[in-house]
Amino acid sequence: MKPMSNDPNMLEEYNFNKGIRGKYTERYSKGTNVVIIDPDVAEFFPDENSVNDALRSLIPIIKKREKRAAEQGH
């Protein structure tokens, strides 16, 4: 297929014959949380699971800080 002249990353047409209609409908209907991370950070996280694991590891730290702040009246 021929690339578009104004954007070489896009083709002039795409074939969706093997596409699955509504493949992500259920997931999308539950809500989406799209977050754009900077390229220098993204290079350390190859997929969504690695991002989620990293963020989950921070939850206990955040909870501990919140508890301390509450105890100090902040």
- Does residue 2 belong to any structural domain of this protein? no
- Does residue 43 belong to any structural domain of this protein? yes
In whole angstroms, give the CA distance from residue 61 to residue 74: 17
- pLDDT tens per residue across span 21-66: 999 898 888 887 888 999 999 999 999 999 999 999 999 999 999 9
Distances 48 to 8, 51, 71 between C-alpha atoms, Å: 28, 5, 35
Q: Note down the domain range covering 65.
A: 37-71
Higher pLDDT pick, 2 / 37: 37
- Does residue 28 belong to any structural domain of this protein? no
**DSSP count for the chain of H helices, then E strands:** 3, 0
In whole angstroms, give the CA distance from residue 37 to residue 27: 21
Amino acid 40: pLDDT: 95
Amino acid 35: pLDDT: 87
- The alpha-carbon radius of gyration of the chain (Å, integer) is 21
The model scores a pTM over 0.85: no
- Does residue 54 belong to any structural domain of this protein? yes
Evaluate if residue 12 carries a pLDDT over 90.
no
Name the domain count of the chain.
Answer: 1
